[in-house]
């Protein structure tokens, strides 16, 4: 007979947990709410931040087309991310903690929006470099934070850590990827008020798509929106970027505060922290993941840099770019959530195979499709399919890094950003020099290489699974120390 004043039966996940005393129940419930709340705060913060940056990135190849300035600025962004990936994430995360690393890095992103108020080589390039320096710490801190939260929740629920981490990344990308909807909706609605809109002539349509190669063709044939509208749009982007910083600074819990304090009190040698990103390259699994990670950069840069310019802007006008990218963002968001849940039942490999097959079909179709305004639905079908595939690449690759390298998360996710950014840099660097058809063949080649190297990693992991992180490694929270008694887990057949 249970003493109801001291013990409470709680059914969770087909288990019955018996707590003594009652304070343990509230600890369990509060930790569940706290971890989920933190995932939502991180997700909403990134949603606000990338509503601005995602919208700007989609427009750079069209809005700042003079001398390839927009694409050049994106090249600088990702080149700078590569440099920052080499040393900044471990240093910042270990010294500042995940929360404040995210806030500082967000400020770097906001600076890029200020640079777009009066775009020029002397404003875009420096702010692009600043954004890049904050890019790798931002994403590494986010991935580390979600991995810590997932492992914490898994230890509380008695679940497999990889399943909870997958679920958290699915929730994150479900919310985050919708930023493409809101950022591009803002640009399309604002630029839709433009009085400079002109119809696309048959002569101009000849230079759209992959069938014709003329890399010397000026991209300024499509009229730019009025400068006042550009200022309004960028001003809105600055506002939502600052809002993202406030949300994270005020509402996100500092769950790794104790580890940060210990690191500052007992510092590792600078060289050891500096080289942490490169030291992980000794792991053959990471080396085999490089093509998969770089492909993520190639495929994203193609859609935002090439598809928007050579298909949408060329055949329909710049005010349609936002609507096309909304299709990408909407399907990406919904599929991120769905595949994050589905991965628990199917595993990673079938989902990644689906993404590869989808991208392969789109690449082959884009090689032969001649864009025509009379075929309006096709302009939105391609980004929608691309969004579904990208949802798988993002959720499963991020989760895979968290599962394979649970004890070197900062260095692992720094490597992820470094190699993904290298894919961006290469793609943006050759953007103005080679034919679109050649770019599609390069994209196809990297995809095929990924199809060869990724199964090797999956086979090795299935043969020798990575041990999960030790329970309680992050249980330095105040609440955990204040619990009076341990709780008893009783497995009961239901």
At 164 the pLDDT is 84
CA dihedral for 342, 346, 347, 350, sign (positive or negative):
negative
Residue 18, strand partner residues: 9, 488
Among residues 400, 416, 393, the alpha carbon closest in space to that of 89 is found at 416
Question: Cα–Cα distance between 398 and 98 in angstroms, integer?
Answer: 17
In-domain check, residue 449: yes
- CA 426, distance to chain mean position in Å, is 19
Q: Give mean pLDDT, residues 170-191.
A: 83
When divided into structural domains, the chain yields a total of: 1
Question: Cα–Cα distance between 179 and 185 in angstroms, integer?
Answer: 10
pLDDT in tens, 199-212: 666 777 777 887 76
Among residues 155, 56, 157, the alpha carbon closest in space to that of 110 is found at 56
Question: Cα–Cα distance between 116 and 120 in angstroms, integer?
Answer: 8
- Is residue 117 exposed (0-12), middle (13-18) or buried (19+ Cβ within 10 Å)? middle
Among residues 262, 270, 245, 254, the alpha carbon closest in space to that of 90 is found at 270
pLDDT in tens, 251-283: 998 887 666 555 444 555 555 555 666 778 888
CA-CA distances (angstroms) from residue 206 to 64, 213, 315? Answer: 22, 10, 9
Asked if 15 contacts 492 with a C-beta cutoff of 8 angstroms, the reply is yes
Residue 8, strand partner residues: 19
pTM score? 0.69
Of residues 103 and 186, more confidence is placed in: 103
Percent of the chain at pLDDT > 90 equals 25
Q: Average per-residue pLDDT in the chain? A: 78
Percent of the chain at pLDDT > 70 equals 78
- Residue 229's H or E segment, with its range, is helix 227-251
Q: Give mean pLDDT, residues 281-286.
A: 87
At 127 the pLDDT is 93
Q: Give mean pLDDT, residues 428-438.
A: 84
- Residue 12's H or E segment, with its range, is strand 8-12
In-domain check, residue 136: yes
Please, which pLDDT band fits residue 30 given cuts at 50, 70 and 90? low
Query: Is it the case that residue 445 has pLDDT exceeding 90?
Result: yes
Domain residue limits at 157: 29-490
Structure tokens at 297: 């950069």
Q: Give mean pLDDT, residues 127-155.
A: 87
Structure tokens at 188: 């399309």
Kindly write down the DSSP assignment for every residue of 52-117, as one continuous string: HHHHHHHHHHHHT-GGGHHHHHHHHHHHHHHHHHTTHHHHHHHHHHHHHHHHHHHHHHHHHHHHTT
pLDDT in tens, 397-409: 888 888 888 777 7
In-domain check, residue 23: no
What 3-state DSSP class applies to 8?
Answer: strand
In-domain check, residue 5: no
At 15 the pLDDT is 42
In-domain check, residue 91: yes
In-domain check, residue 67: yes
In-domain check, residue 374: yes
Asked if 332 contacts 299 with a C-beta cutoff of 8 angstroms, the reply is no
Among residues 109, 90, 84, 396, the alpha carbon closest in space to that of 256 is found at 90
In-domain check, residue 9: no
* CATH number of residue 376's parent domain: 1.20.1250.20
Question: Cα–Cα distance between 18 and 300 in angstroms, integer?
Answer: 49
């Amino acid at each position: 007979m249970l003493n109801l004043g001291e013990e409470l039966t709680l059914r969770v996940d087909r288990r019955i947990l018996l707590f003594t005393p009652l304070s343990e129940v509230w600890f369990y419930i509060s930790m569940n709410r706290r971890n989920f709340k933190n995932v939502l705060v991180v997700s909403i913060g990134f949603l606000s931040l990338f509503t601005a940056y995602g919208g700007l990135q989609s427009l750079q190849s069209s809005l700042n087309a003079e001398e390839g300035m927009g694409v050049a600025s994106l090249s600088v962004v990702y080149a700078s991310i590569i440099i920052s990936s080499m040393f900044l994430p471990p240093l910042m995360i270990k010294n500042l903690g995940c929360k404040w690393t995210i806030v500082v890095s967000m400020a770097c992103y906001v600076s890029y929006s200020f640079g777009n108020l009066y775009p020029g080589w002397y404003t875009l390039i420096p702010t692009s470099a600043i954004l890049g320096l904050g890019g790798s710490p931002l994403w590494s801190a986010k991935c580390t934070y979600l991995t810590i939260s997932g492992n914490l929740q898994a230890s509380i629920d008695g679940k497999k850590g990889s399943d909870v981490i997958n679920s958290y990344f699915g929730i994150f990308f479900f919310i985050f990827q919708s930023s493409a909807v809101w950022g591009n909706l803002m640009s399309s609605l604002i630029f839709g008020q433009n009085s400079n809109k002109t119809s696309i002539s048959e002569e101009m349509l000849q230079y759209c798509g992959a069938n014709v190669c003329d890399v010397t063709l000026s991209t300024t044939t499509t009229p730019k929106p009025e400068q006042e509208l550009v200022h309004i749009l960028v001003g809105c982007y600055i506002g939502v970027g600052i809002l993202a910083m406030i949300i994270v600074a005020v509402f996100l819990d500092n769950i790794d505060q104790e580890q940060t304090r210990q690191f500052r009190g007992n510092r590792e040698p600078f060289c050891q922290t500096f080289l942490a990103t490169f030291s992980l390259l000794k792991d053959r699994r990471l080396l085999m993941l490089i093509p998969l990670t770089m492909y993520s950069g190639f495929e994203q840069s193609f859609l935002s840099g090439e598809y928007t310019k050579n298909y949408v802007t060329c055949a329909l006008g710049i005010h349609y770019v936002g609507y096309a990218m909304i299709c990408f963002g909407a399907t990406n968001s919904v599929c991120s959530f769905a595949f994050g849940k589905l991965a628990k039942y199917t595993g990673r490999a079938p989902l990644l195979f689906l993404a590869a097959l989808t991208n392969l079909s789109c690449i082959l179709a884009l090689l032969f499709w001649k864009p025509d305004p009379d075929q309006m639905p096709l302009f939105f079908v391609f980004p929608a399919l691309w969004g579904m595939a990208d949802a798988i690449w993002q959720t499963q690759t991020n989760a895979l890094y968290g599962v394979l390298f649970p004890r070197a998360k900062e260095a692992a996710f720094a490597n992820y950003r470094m190699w993904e950014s290298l894919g961006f840099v290469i793609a943006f660097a050759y953007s103005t020099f080679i034919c679109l058809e050649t770019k599609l063949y390069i994209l196809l080649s990297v995809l095929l290489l990924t199809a060869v190297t990724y199964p090797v990693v999956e086979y090795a992991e299935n043969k020798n699974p990575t041990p999960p992180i030790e329970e309680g490694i992050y249980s330095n929270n105040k609440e955990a120390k204040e619990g009076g008694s341990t709780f008893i887990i009783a497995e009961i057949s239901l």
